[in-house]
Structure 1
Amino acid sequence: MNMEYVVMLIMSVLVGSLIGYLNRYGRGTAGARTYALICCGATLVTLVSRYFFIDLGKPWFADPGRLSAQIIPTLGFLATFILWFVESRAEWISIGVNMWLAALAGMIIGSGFGWRALLAIGFVILVLPIIRKAEERIRARPAAQDQTTEKAET
């Protein structure tokens, strides 16, 4: 087994675990193990789609996009299952988005661009707290306006 594949798989488990940890930290329901499996699975599918026919000695049959293209519909099915059978609240939509992010990170790693996946996840880690603070301010503003309106009316 090529050591490059092992590094890709380890990297995908770490990135997926990080996404899962951030989801749990943000009061999500799925944990690091779930997202590590999604990211690692996407990496494995991408690696198979890249190298399967080449290893068979038939590189002219290689179509890396065909098998990898099935990752996103599979996640759509899983996200629909979660929303349909568990509970259909707006907060659960973030699970589908996080699953999508983990799968895309796995596909990027499996394509041989692991450092770009780490850079993208690092960017997400930096941006999410800023967005969360902005949401808190926006949500707090109408409540504060309602209180001042009530005081003015009395």
Structure 2
Amino acid sequence: MIVRLITAAILGGLIGVEREFHHHPAGFRTHLLVSVGSCLIMLLAFYGFEEYIIENKNVVTFDPSRLASYVVSGIGFLGAGTILVQGYTVRGLTTAASIWVVAAIGLTVGAGMYEPAIITTCLVILSLFLLGKVSFRFEGEQDPKYQLIILTEGKYVKLNELVRTIEAHEIKLKGIISEKKKSSEYEKPLIEYRFLVEYKEGDSLNNMTEELHQFDFIHRITIK
């Protein structure tokens, strides 16, 4: 049992390291805990009721897979917490999927099936590292990408309005990073948002920045 728990921790942690490296909301600790917890529940299903079943074998029928099925369905609430919907943009689906797979890996290790769990872990890590750099496009060449840096007043910022304004000009959001900033120019706390954007029309970016400047909580807009 100890070997299985440690193995589940290692495999889940390896996937979590990749998520942590790319600054996703659910990182190393989350994936490790999900894997170990799933493994523990599987061990409970196999061995936790063994004595009771032996003592009452004439009246008890027990299916160990029932606890596993509750893990698979119940892990959805944790995955849903990593999904962020902003306008027409959805973020965190890959992290939610990795948490779901980690739960399956933990259950598999708990059942003593080491080889499938290790192979699955390798496949997941390779897919997250390699496929994340691959962009599948079927229409022409790739659109130019720019970094849109918006410095905002942290207390009054409305991220959903920023996202709606950006997407209203047919500009695609590819990533969002936020960071708290301290500046001698402003007394109030500031937040710097870095948007990775992709667009086709040259005027769309200019029109979008003009509309963004109308928000009172925006202090500066920079495009790189």
TM-score, reference length from structure 1: 0.77
- Could you say what secondary structure the match of 2:142 adopts? helix
String of CA shifts for 1:11-55, please: whole Å, max 9, x gaps. 011111111111122331222111111000000111111122323
1:96–1:127 distance in 2 versus 1, CA, 3 Å: closer
- What residue number does 2:110 align with? 110
- Opposite residue 129 of structure 2, the aligned amino acid is P
Out of 5, 8, 25, which is 2:4 matched to? 8
The residue number in structure 2 matching 1:91 is 91
Q: Which has the higher contact order (CA 8 A, sep 6+)?
A: 1
Question: Which residue of the partner structure matches residue 155 of structure 2?
Answer: none
Going from structure 1 to structure 2, the CA distance change for 1:134 and 1:105 (only over 3 Å counts) comes to same
In structure 1, the partner of 2:30 is: 34
1:123 maps to 2:123: yes
User: CA separation in 2, counterparts of 1:61 and 1:53?
Assistant: 11
Q: 1:86-115, CA deviations, whole angstroms, 9 ceiling, x for partnerless residues?
A: x42522222211110110000110111023
Change (3 A) 1:82 1:126: closer
Aligned residues: 141
Q: Which has the higher helix share?
A: 1
The residue that corresponds to 2:217 in the other structure is none
Amino acid across the alignment from 1:37: L
Identity %: 25
Q: Which has the higher strand share?
A: 2
Q: Please identify the structure whose Cα radius of gyration is greater.
A: 2
**What is the alpha-carbon distance in structure 1 between the residues aligned to residue 61 and residue 47 of structure 2?**
11
- Structure 1: gaps spanning 5 or more residues: none
- The 1-side partners of 2:113 and 2:77 are apart by 26
How far 1:10 moved relative to its partner?
A: 0.3
Unaligned runs of 5+ in 2: 145-198, 203-224
Provide the C-alpha distance between the structure 1 equivalents of 2:130 and 2:81, rounded to a whole number of angstroms: 31
Q: Please say if 1:62 is aligned against 2:62.
A: yes
Task: Give me the whole-angstrom Cα distance separating, in 2, the residues matched to 1:49 and 1:41.
Answer: 12
Give the distance between the partners of 2:123 and 2:33, measured in 1 at CA: 22
Give the letter for the 2:33 counterpart. L
TM-score by length of 2: 0.55
* Map of 2:168 onto structure 1: none
Q: Offset of 1:82 from its aligned partner?
A: 4.2
CA contact (8 A) 1:53 1:61 kept: no
Amino acid at match of 1:93: L
Shift of 1:76: 1.2
